[in-house]
Amino acid sequence: MNLTSMQTKDLLKLQSDVIGELRNRGILRTMNNPTGDYAEWLVASALGLKLANNSAAGHDAESETGKKIQIKARRVNPTNKSRQLGVIRNLEKNDFDELVAVVFNESYEVVEAVSIPHSVIAEYSTYRQHVNGHILHLRGALISDNRVRSIRAELSAYSDALTLLTEAAEADTLA
């Protein structure tokens, strides 16, 4: 198997299958591994953002205008349908302007993707002392709030375009 010739989506699917088998064998406890990094890359690429250094406090990317973006993701699967995002720490510090939240299905296809203004997060999240941060679930009233903007189409279009480019490059290589 030549991994270098595989599409990004196919590599992620293969990785999902491997993690599933390791979980079935009792070696791993969850199915979530590359989700966060993939979401950050996809969001930054699709929206033209610059990824921040890993040490940047409170945000993952920046727009050309200097808007700071926190990116959270969740990958749902048949055994875990939770849409709870990772802990949001130091919400009161205003380290970011928007939170982009992405939910992937088991095959890393975008199921839901939204941009949430910082000011909206406190209304829908709950502070949990034991994790020292706010917990946010991407569902219900939050999704339908008119201040929350869906970006699913942009992320899906970027992912689809990448697939087409990869397929075209593979066809040229085979020709």
The pLDDT tens digits along the chain (175 residues) read: 899 999 999 999 998 898 888 888 877 776 666 788 888 889 999 999 999 987 778 999 999 999 999 999 999 999 999 999 999 999 999 999 999 999 999 988 999 999 999 999 999 999 999 999 999 999 999 999 999 999 999 999 998 887 777 777 767 777 6
**How many angstroms separate the CA atoms of 40 and 60, rounded?**
7
Domain 32-163 CATH class label: alpha beta
Q: What is the largest CA-CA distance in the chain?
A: 60
CA-to-CA separations, 33 to 6, 45, 157, in angstroms, rounded: 20, 20, 24
Indicate whether this model's pTM tops 0.85. no
HSE, CB side, 13 Å, CA atoms: give it for residue 166: 14
